[in-house]
Amino acid sequence: MNILVFGATGGSGRAVVARALDAGHEVTAFVRDPSRMEAAPRLTVVAGDATCADDVARALPGHDAIVISLGDRPKPFDWLPGRRRAASSRVCEIGTRNILAAMPSDAPPRIVVVSAFGVGDTRETAPWYHRLYLRLFMEDLMADKERQETLLKKADPDFLIVQPVALTDAAASGRWTASTEGAIGRQQVSRGDLAAFIVDELTEGRHRRETVAFSG
């Protein structure tokens, strides 16, 4: 497959790129700063901003699948009330809107979105302490992902929303829990396992127009 990854320099995006290349796919990494992406065989790096519709429209043609792993990295003390408004972003919402607008109507690529457990379909099933943490420290990012998911559910293309619990850089274990009912196993899961699940889904398509809670 020819896979386009938005947010390719983030932790999850890098893991997806590496896994897809290992599996023999062609990968395009869409990044703001190409210098942050190491060269590799079968990897094309495209500079652009997901919130710029023209950048997205130029990058999208010719791809069989799209992975959206957008989201601003929280900075220290962004959770403080005075900092929260300045730190708020709509990159997930705007980027996804631009991607959907650029999709061809005849044969739209499959989309897999990295969201977060406790958003949308799992908002009420997440443990109370998990919901409290998100509300206190990641409220703006979660609101952005809520709007992103709403856009996808109203759109026509085939999609999968993956909602991982806390992500780590531990080695991939090859074992995970992927539940359409919002059930989770361990409270942490490695980005390597998340990437393996996503790349498998791109080729096998077991979950279509669904939300999957993803945990260790």
Q: Which two tokens stand for residue 194?
A: 């998340």
pLDDT at residue 65 in the model: 96
**How many Å apart are CA 208 and CA 203, to the nearest integer?**
12
Q: Residues of the chain whose pLDDT is less than 50?
A: 76-77, 79, 82-88
pLDDT at residue 87 in the model: 39
Alpha helices by DSSP H, 23-112: 53-59, 81-87, 91-102
* pLDDT tens digits, one per residue of 32-84: 999 999 999 999 999 999 999 999 999 999 999 999 999 866 554 454 554 44
**How many Å apart are CA 172 and CA 207, to the nearest integer?**
22
pLDDT at residue 165 in the model: 95
pLDDT at residue 73 in the model: 60
